[in-house]
Amino acid sequence: MSIVKKEDSKKWINSFVAIISIISGFLAIRFTQQMSEWFDLEAKVNNFLLISQGIGVVVGLAVFIGIFKSRNASSHLSEVYDELVKVVWPDRDTIFKVTIGIVISLAIVSAIFVGVDYLFRALLDLFY
């Protein structure tokens, strides 16, 4: 059973592009704030906080518009969504069984590492 449906492609692609735009705007704001800390720009530039927020908004909008204007990016996102529709997600029982198997495997490997560590400590205590 697939979580995503073919008819919802535009909604999901638009949501993804909006999230990427918000993240890139946030990163631009954080970058300008980091530059402010390094070079003490808040003291040198009037209204630096407003300017850094404006830079973030402009970068976010530029990413949003840039992705939608680019035919390559739009077609790539559509192809990715088409492949995502084909994914068959496992059911609850399968997830539970695989999780239990992973936990047991990790416990066994951890026990092996603890045993080897204890053995090496005992050997080193004999020499030192």
**Whether residues 48 and 12 fall in one domain:** yes
pTM of the full structure: 0.68
Residue pLDDT, tens place only, 73-100: 999 999 999 998 888 889 999 999 999 9
CA distance 82 to 87: 9
**Whether residues 19 and 78 fall in one domain:** yes
**Whether residues 37 and 76 fall in one domain:** yes
Render 2-70 in DSSP notation, one character per residue: -SS-GGGHHHHHHHHHHHHHHHHHHHHHHHHHHHHHHHTHHHHSTTHHHHHHHHHHHHHHHHHHHHHH-
**Whether residues 54 and 110 fall in one domain:** no
Residue pLDDT, tens place only, 21-42: 999 999 999 999 999 999 999 8
Task: Write out the residue range of the structural domain in which residue 23 sits.
Answer: 1-88
**Whether residues 36 and 76 fall in one domain:** yes
**Whether residues 84 and 94 fall in one domain:** no
Which residues have C-beta within 8 Å of that of residue 101, sequence separation ≥ 6?
Answer: none
Domain tally for the chain? Answer: 2
Q: Give percent of the chain with pLDDT exceeding 70.
A: 97
**Whether residues 94 and 82 fall in one domain:** no
Which residues have C-beta within 8 Å of that of residue 77, sequence separation ≥ 6?
Answer: 13, 16, 17, 67
**Whether residues 71 and 116 fall in one domain:** no
**Whether residues 59 and 113 fall in one domain:** no
**Whether residues 84 and 126 fall in one domain:** no
CA distance 28 to 20: 12
**Whether residues 81 and 106 fall in one domain:** no
